[in-house]
């Protein structure tokens, strides 16, 4: 037994199937929390205005004899600060940002007794992290950014 479908009915069925296909994607992107979409920054335009200041701070850090360096160890991460400054004079904040999940982002202040800052392995989840270190010495602002695979 053969079922015959005329071409106008075939076209209508194809259009309806395509519309259902597209609307299912719209529904998932809008209402399903698994496909949550968000901007990297909530204040994108405000951040863009300060971008040149960030570039200047980055260049200041590069101009030092030794810039900040991040080293992965078995116990966690070690952040090495320049030895040309006294460790007690270095202040600032370290930001760890995970683009895939903002719920695990964290930051903490820089308080040094030596030129190294240690971050325990338990705080970091495997994957890509954007590390941003804003630090100050003698009223000079410096910035260090790195994309890190942990």
3-state secondary structure of 66: coil
7-63 residue pLDDT tens? 999 999 999 999 999 999 899 888 877 766 666 667 777 778 888 888 989 899 888
DSSP state at residue 40: S
pLDDT tens figures, 64-114? 888 899 999 888 889 999 988 898 889 999 999 988 777 888 898 998 888
Q: What angle do CA 143, 144, 145 make, to 5 degrees?
A: 125
The predicted structure's pLDDT at residue 35: 67
Of 150, 135, 140, nearest in space to 68 by CA: 135
Q: What is the pLDDT of residue 36?
A: 65
Integer angstrom CA distances of residue 137 from 70, 72, 77, 94:
19, 25, 22, 15
Domain ranges (residues) in the chain: 1-37, 44-149
Q: Which residue has better confidence, 117 or 43?
A: 117
User: Is 19 strand, coil or helix?
Assistant: helix
CB-facing half-sphere around the CA of 120: CA atoms within 13 A? 2
Alpha helices for 32-66 (secondary structure H): 44-49, 51-62
Other Cβ atoms closer than 10 A to 35: 11
The whole-chain average pLDDT of the chain stands at: 87
Report pLDDT digits (tens) over 134-146: 999 988 899 999 9
- DSSP β-ladder status, 128-137 and 76-80: unpaired
Are 130 and 144 in contact by the 8 Å Cβ rule? The answer is no
CATH, domain range 44-149: 2.60.40.10
């Amino acid at each position: 037994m053969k079922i015959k479908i005329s071409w106008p009915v075939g076209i209508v069925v194809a259009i309806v199937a395509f519309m259902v296909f597209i609307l299912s994607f719209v529904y998932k992107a809008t209402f399903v929390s698994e496909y949550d979409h968000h901007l990297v920054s909530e204040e994108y335009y405000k951040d863009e205005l300060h971008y040149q200041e960030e570039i200047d701070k980055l260049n200041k850090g590069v101009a030092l004899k030794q810039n900040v360096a991040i080293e992965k160890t078995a116990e966690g991460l070690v952040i090495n600060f320049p030895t040309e400054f006294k460790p007690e004079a270095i202040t600032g904040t370290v930001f760890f940002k995970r683009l895939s999940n903002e719920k695990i982002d964290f930051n903490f202040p820089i308080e040094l007794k030596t030129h190294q800052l240690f971050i325990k392995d338990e705080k970091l989840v495997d994957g890509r992290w954007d590390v941003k270190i804003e630090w100050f010495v003698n009223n000079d602002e410096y910035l260090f950014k790195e994309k890190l695979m942990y």
